[in-house]
Amino acid sequence: MGNKGIALLLGLAALIGGIVFYLSPKGSSESLKFCTWSNYYPESILEDFTKKTGIRVELSYVSSNEELFAKLKAGATGYDLIQPSDYMVRQMTKLSMLKPLEHSQLPNLSHLDEYYLNLSYDRGLKYSVPFNWGTTGIAINTEKVTVPGEGVSWKMLFESPDPKHTSLLDDMREVFAAVMLWKGNSINSTSLPVLEAARNDIARIKDNILMFSSEPKPLLLKGEITIAHIYSCDGIQAQIDNPKIRYFIPKEGGVVWTDNFAIPVSSRKEKEAHAFINYFLEPENALKIATQNHLAIPNRTARARLPAEQLNNPNFYPSAEVLVRMKFLEDLGDTLLTINRMWTELKT
């Protein structure tokens, strides 16, 4: 979940289905087509991977799990490796869209924290490997908006003090989850009255806010947005670039997520995909990703070597008291169709 690059490129991505670029020594015959989120893989890190393995990497980006799912369901067969979030791994597994992983080709799994080996969406990591994790919250430009003394609530989004400079994520599950948290409901509720109430709240505010965007970070830094529904990785990066922007986990709690490596059934480069996963499980490489892109990682060996200012930052690694209020999005079965219909109506 993250910044897809420059706004112009994002617009093009929406039109052509992703941003693709190549990192490869000339003459390399091997190619790994990887569909991921933005702002996770600096070019220098991918260039190092190519130099060490001879495997060319072609990156394309998606802006939501639902976009990735739709591409695969529509018959997109060009991806060798993908990066779905937790609940989408569960959904894709149920629909036999992922290949089982060969753990014998992933010796660096030994560096993962034990907690991440048996998460409910893929116990035993049969189909996925966690790459990073984070939370979803709110970024506020404190130079332009006063932070409430009683703490930041999801109310900051839905009764924004600056609605014309407020954005919501362009992600139906995250937006519905935020509304339901605001109203004291479960983010995984399948109650039709609860969902209809959430839809009505979104409908009420959608024309007052500036936009739905899964890429609010550049606009935050430009000052065009002052309050943003945002993934922690982007919120923290924005805060580092401009300390007047601060990332908050709302007091009601929020969504906790993992982004994972997975191999789609259409992959023609399983060996190369496993090599890529194993490479970024190597502590040195995981550490580079974590420090350069300010990501929270499940790699315990690499995490032990993090700078103290990152390791002790509660936005990267929230306290147990905060984490108890965070929940994973679950697969909602047929209720997902209802939410999708509501979202389509809201966005039309």
**Percent of the chain with pLDDT strictly greater than 70:** 91
The reported pLDDT for the residue numbered 28 is: 45
**What gap in Å lies between CA 119 and CA 85, rounded to an integer?**
12
Q: Do 87 and 124 belong together in one domain?
A: yes
Residue at 242 is within a domain: yes
What is the DSSP pairing of strand 211-212 with strand 166-168? parallel
The reported pLDDT for the residue numbered 348 is: 86
pLDDT tens per residue across span 262-292 = 999 999 999 999 999 999 999 999 999 999 8
**What gap in Å lies between CA 236 and CA 23, rounded to an integer?**
27
Domain count, the chain: 2
Q: Do 179 and 222 belong together in one domain?
A: yes
pLDDT tens per residue across span 143-156 = 999 999 999 999 99
Q: Do 121 and 15 belong together in one domain?
A: yes
Residue 198 has pLDDT above 90, yes or no: yes
Domain range for 283: 7-133+258-316
**What gap in Å lies between CA 273 and CA 88, rounded to an integer?**
19
Tokens 């300390």 — which residue?
A: 243
51: pLDDT confidence band, cut at 50, 70 and 90? very high
Residue 4 has pLDDT above 90, yes or no: no
Q: Do 220 and 154 belong together in one domain?
A: yes
Looking up residue 334, the CATH number of its domain turns out to be 3.40.190.10
Edge to edge, what strands does the sheet with 81-82 contain? 21-23, 56-61, 31-36, 81-82
Tokens 């030994």 — which residue?
A: 110
pLDDT tens per residue across span 69-101 = 999 988 877 899 999 999 999 999 999 999 999
**What gap in Å lies between CA 315 and CA 318, rounded to an integer?**
6
Q: Do 88 and 186 belong together in one domain?
A: no
14: pLDDT confidence band, cut at 50, 70 and 90? very low
Residue at 2 is within a domain: no
Greater confidence, 287 or 293?
A: 287
